[in-house]
A and B are shown apart, each in its own frame.
Chain A
């Protein structure tokens, strides 16, 4: 096979799940001897695309051409057998076994008596480790190795057969900088040997260090295919999160002098390794947008303000009174609502009814002699089902059967019925269909108009710019900028969230 030939082509891949289009006509290709980065925010479709590649999901439309032939892998094992290896963020190694045992796990060489051929095992492992220029022995216990070295074991495991493509899914998430360097050296070595590398990450600096080309995904659509040498962080960020304003996002904003009284004040909030010296305030009837990339510490900050995480230092005030940091049920009693990023894992009791989920935060205050006031609960349910237009056949329906957008409305309703003073929304529209998205944006403005202070965390630029009265940018755990709606531009915001000094950035 010639150099520079596409070893893998994914053409027009579309994948629909009930309620949402996860991938929409995505094209993706990798050449031999190239590192091709796949970037995008959470929910952009990176993982789904790789799941389609390895056969975990079958595409709704589109085809995969591998080595010139149309293929459909039956699953990760089948893909591996045919030379496509996926290295996940969470390694699947057995800590208590040696490097060699892990490399050949499931296919340990045996001698003629049926026992393990230790000599052959260690020899073959040694050869593989030498090919990767690893400086550790096949007889070492995997649990004793650093994460970077464990990753190399995982790669070596892939090399037991002929390997053509290695997919790294966020490989540096748990690495130290030193380990990262080692990983990059190894990736370069694989590249030189002619292996095609797919590198999935949302860390821009890494992508510029390691990749030759970049494919950008946003909301399941492919928004760019770039040569790394010809682009910059600003352009990339803009492709990842920017977009033309949608019509429905043309809301009337509050100006500098129209703000109400202060609801929340955060002073010098710090948590080691996550965020540092965060201070800001939100006012009555104000929508404050918090814009930043994944890993900037946004969600952690939100969880800390709400009280499910503890800060190292700093103070939080609600309407002038200091609140105890790290006590979620107090926060709820004080009127703080929190819509977490991951609906299904952090927000919903999937197996319970819509009614149960909707009244969950209110329920403690809906008692008489310990018993729930059923009629009142039902009235609250009807009220919010109607107001938010939650589409469900009945209040008894299990919430897991609702579409993503309607699930999100149930969570919103859960907080609205405690009459919150402050509502924290973390990525309120991730994975939600366009129509419901617009409804939620309108709802956010309506809530602000009713006097609620709303903090909207989002990596979607149009969303932040569309709904917020004021926007903070966050980068590496720090607030890097503050803009009122009328002065915010995509360029200014991107500077803030990529940590680039003013002047160094130009967006198309």
Chain B
């Protein structure tokens, strides 16, 4: 039987505001390019563009893990600390050979992520508290391990990892972009991706659909730890050293990049392509301001202002508000 009485409100037409809101990051992206290329002649040189990508790749790799976490409605403040830990571990264990040191660092980062995830899911403690705790705790471990000194590697082969390039593309950038594409495919086309969106979109409905919510959340915390560790290793390789204060505010910059990319803090919405936009905008601001000889503190001010205006716009045109 066809329903005659149902008053249906179904819209499928193109909504310009919805589109602008979802893609506001690309608008900012274009504005940044126009602004900096007018202000500094060197900005659009191939060499500088490569440089922006290279500088962005460390934050970028971490933002992949963070995007996953934020889509399922969580976040991780300990990524900066994990990054530092893996950087000092990879230098510290260099004597056992590069593969062992790298593997160990990745393992340590993932393990801390797993612990974060277990505390959030099984003990039911708020992610803010859990990861704030591990942010402090892991940083403490880093200081204890290094005795507050910078560790320097004598292994030249290690520093070649981040200096290597495939064609014109530096290896860290290549790793970042490959992970980004893989990550986006996983989000779109796997049941893990669907699970993340479902959990962040409506936790209770996800549970009611038989989704193993704890498993998905723990996987994402591990991924966050893993990406932080990977970024730390590449950073250590780039400097061929590791300082205990490495990545002090990086978790905040990562969150900024992800939120700029339109991922919602309360979950259920976001993707990695737009996160790439957020990462590159931050990269351009850092790089462009540097070219303009503006002090780096001003960068922070500008990033803060952009973040708040983007989130304001985001709420103003929230597709879920009725």
Contacts and interface: CB of A to CB of B under 8 A. Distances in A.
Contacts of B6: 19, 391, 403, 405-406, 433, 435-436
Contact of B207 (A308, A389, A442): A308
Nearest to A403: B8
A203 interface: no
Given A308-B207, A328-B208, A402-B10, A364 B5 contact: no
B210 A333 contact: yes
Contact of B319 (A331, A351, A363, A402): A351
A356 interface: yes
B209 A16 contact: no
Chain A contact residues: over half helix, strand or loop, or mixed? mixed
Interface stretch (B75-83, B167-175, B197-205): B197-205
Interface stretch (B112-120, B142-150, B185-193, B235-243): B185-193
A458 B91 CA distance: 66
A349 B201 contact: yes
Q: Give the interface size class of chain A.
A: 35 or more
Interface in B202-242: 202, 204-212
Interface string A294-309: 0000000000001010
Contacts of A400: 320, 322
A356 B190 contact: no
Contacts of B210: 328-329, 331-333, 361, 364
A181 to B, nearest CB: 35
Interface string A22-64: 0000000000000000000000000000000000000000000
A401 B9 contact: yes
B4 to A, nearest CB: 6
Contact of B198 (A356, A367, A406): A356
A315 B118 CA distance: 30
Interface residues of B, number: 37
Nearest to B201: A349
A115 interface: no
A364 B215 CA distance: 13
A499 B146 CA distance: 73
A351 B268 contact: yes
Contact of B194 (A20, A328, A356, A391): A356
A346 interface: yes
Contact of B8 (A19, A364, A374, A434): A19
B194 A363 contact: yes
A329 B319 CA distance: 30
Contacts, number: 134
A361 B206 CA distance: 9
Contacts of B9: 18-19, 401, 403
A434 B5 contact: yes
Given A366-B191, A391-B10, A403-B9, A347 B205 contact: yes
Nearest to B195: A363
Contacts of B186: 370
A394 interface: yes
Contacts of A20: 7
Interface string B241-275: 00000000000000000000000000011000000
Given A308-B207, A356-B194, A371-B189, A435 B3 contact: yes
Interface string B47-85: 000000000000000000000000000000000000000
Q: Which of A328, A340, A367 has the most B CB atoms < 10 Å from its CB? A: A328
A352 B12 contact: no
Given A308-B207, A433-B3, A435-B3, 14 more contacts: A18-B7, A18-B8, A306-B208, A329-B210, A329-B212, A347-B205, A348-B202, A351-B320, A356-B194, A363-B191, A391-B8, A401-B12, A438-B1, A439-B3
21 contacts: A16-B7, A20-B7, A308-B207, A308-B208, A329-B211, A332-B210, A340-B208, A347-B208, A349-B202, A360-B211, A361-B210, A371-B189, A372-B191, A391-B8, A392-B10, A393-B12, A398-B319, A401-B10, A403-B8, A436-B3, A436-B6
Interface of A: 16, 18-20, 306, 308, 328-329, 331-333, 338, 340, 345-352, 356, 359-361, 363-364, 366-367, 370-372, 374, 389, 391-394, 397-398, 400-403, 405-406, 414, 433-436, 438-439, 442
